[in-house]
Amino acid sequence: MNGSTATVTDRELIELAQLYGIHVTETTVSDLREQVNARLDAGLEALYEYDLDREHPTADPGVRTWHEPAKDPYNALCTVCHVPPTTDASELLSEMELALKDNISVAGVPMTCGSAALEGYVPSTDASVTRRLREGGATITAKANMDAFAVGGRGISFYGQIINPRDTTRGTGGSSGGSAAAVAAGTVDAALGTDTGGSIRMPAAFCGLVGIKPTYGLVPLSGIVENTYSLDHVGPITKTVEDSARVLAAIAGKATDDPASVRAAGHPDYKLGDYVSAVTSPPDASSIRLGVLSSIDAEPISKPVRARYESAIETVQDSGMEVKKREFDELDTVVQVKNAMSYCELAAHWRDGAVAYRRGGVTGSVDASGFTSRLRTGSYELNDFHRSRLLAGSQLIETHHGRHYNRALAVKDALTAELEATLEGIDAIITPTVPHLAPRLDGDEDPDALEDGLGTGRYTKLANVSGLPAVTIPNGQHEGSPVGLQLIGHRFDEAHLLSVAERVGENL
């Protein structure tokens, strides 16, 4: 970003005046335009020439501060900040520095959701997960770049393309690409991302990291800008399974300002596991039973990813784990359910001015009025990718009266029951995390991977639609580009899933 500002035309000036209730007439608009443009032409360069990275020895370490990143070769960060632990913090995350995806509220720190439409918006309170990280002893040191409003998986925002630190010829995917890039680059120890169709697991896989999407409702969504509330999740991206377990232990558990987490706590299978202990004492390989989906044999997976997937299956079998074939032939239907729900909920959220209907009227830490006014005034900044999804959802709601959305909800429940039946008698289902390598920045490889719903999230969406927990772990690489392996586990059994992931990862 720099100090340049856009000048205005007569028409734009009149529209701005109407928006802000400023009286302007046709006879005065030209003179006013010249004056306004003269002020804008003066620029704001001095603000950007000031070195925000200079030492400030008098700064109080307990005070929240923020500034724009000065040096960020991977375009991973939106904002650099210092938000210290609470004064009564535990030792769970002591000395850990975390980045939060820029749709997670941190009081007093700007939040753009990766879009120019929200420039200047500053939340007034922390999200539940922000508060819990600080109570766990973590320091929040950055807000991470992301696809605008967490829509899509291209790793591109109005800040530009996010670069993959593990292979700088490739991107990170998204929408939590900045979170993954910050961890892979060593800028932070861990990061939080959000995941509606794979947005934690896909960039984590592309960057050779661990990323977990918890069971729906295990981690509260209050204070997080929603994409598709019925499918949204928040979880950690880390270098190790143990670090993921540690961060999950800090953020899991119900919050009264998130109805999804309250409902989850009433589920008969609900439990908060001792995630760290489970990972540090994983089960013996001989006791682990894994399932592979027969339908994946015929899937159009890229050769490098298929080779790593088949090698992983052979390796875990050689280590003593049992691998069983399981039938689940509804991957195409899963994608359609996810897309129908996302389009409709996204459009309804926009239409209703961020009113928290699905949250029972509770907005958590997002200031709905301030957020909506900022969003509406900046709506012209929305990219076409986001705009097309909004309009597709509007068409499904207005013309088809929500019929497809209601059908998607019914199919979602049926698919969830079918997948849970597929998991009976095994510890986890294993799939490739993503069916191809990270997209090349020159666009020469897997061009369809840049379009939502055409392959990138084919296996990750399975866990979002069902609400089951899923984790991606590193599964080697191809010519320097990381590959991921996904494990999908039983509802609210993250402790066991992570322990199995630890043991599987040791053998890959």
pLDDT digits (tens, 9 = 90+) for 363-396: 444 555 455 555 555 555 566 676 777 777 777 7
Examine the domain organization and report whether 17 and 152 are in the same domain: no
Write down the catalytic residue from 105, 128, 175, 499: 175
pLDDT digits (tens, 9 = 90+) for 143-194: 999 998 898 888 999 899 999 999 999 999 999 999 999 999 999 999 999 9
Whether 59 is in a domain gets the answer no
Are residues 312 and 376 located together in one domain of the fold? yes
Give the count of domains, the chain. Answer: 2
Q: State the pLDDT at residue 257.
A: 86
Same domain, yes or no: 29 and 175: no
pLDDT-derived band at 327 (thresholds 50, 70, 90) equals: very high
In a domain, 54, yes or no: no
254 is catalytic: no
Instruction: Tell me, yes or no, whether 414 and 500 share the same domain.
Output: yes
Instruction: Give the active site residue among 105, 128, 199, 222.
Output: 199
Q: What distance lies between CA 271 and its chain's CA centroid?
A: 24
463: number of Cβ within 10 Å: 30
pLDDT tens digit string along 399-451?
Answer: 767 788 889 899 999 999 999 999 999 999 999 999 999 999 987 655 444 34
- Name 232's Cβ contacts closer than 8 Å, sequence gap at least 6: 194, 195, 196, 221, 224, 226
76 pLDDT band, cuts 50/70/90, is: very high
Quick check: is 125 in a domain?
A: yes
Q: Indicate whether 4 belongs to any domain.
A: no
Whether residue 250 lies inside any domain: the answer is yes
Q: Which of 434, 408, 366, 436 has its CA nearest to residue 199?
A: 434
| Residues 40 and 126 reside in one and the same domain | no
Query: Could you tell me if 28 and 177 lie in one domain?
Result: no
Task: Decide if 473 is inside a domain.
Answer: yes
Same domain, 363 and 266: yes
> Which residue in the list 101, 143, 254, 461 is annotated as catalytic?
101
| 106 and 216 housed in the same domain | yes
Q: Are strands 210-213 and 470-478 parallel, antiparallel or unpaired?
A: antiparallel
Domain membership of residue 180 as a residue range: 65-507
The rounded distance, in Å, linking the Cα atoms of 120 and 115 is: 11
Q: What is the CATH number of the domain that holds 82?
A: 3.90.1300.10
Catalytic (active site) residue 239: no
* Residue 22 lies inside a defined structural domain of this protein: yes
The answer to whether residues 192 and 104 touch, using CB atoms and an 8 Å cutoff, is yes
Residues 19 and 99 in one domain: no
Asked if residue 1 is part of any domain, the answer here is no
The model's pTM is 0.86
**Is 281 in the active site?**
no
Angle at which helices 10-20 and 29-41 cross, to 10°: 90
- Rounded to the nearest integer, the mean pLDDT of the chain is 87
**109 and 26, same domain (yes or no):** no
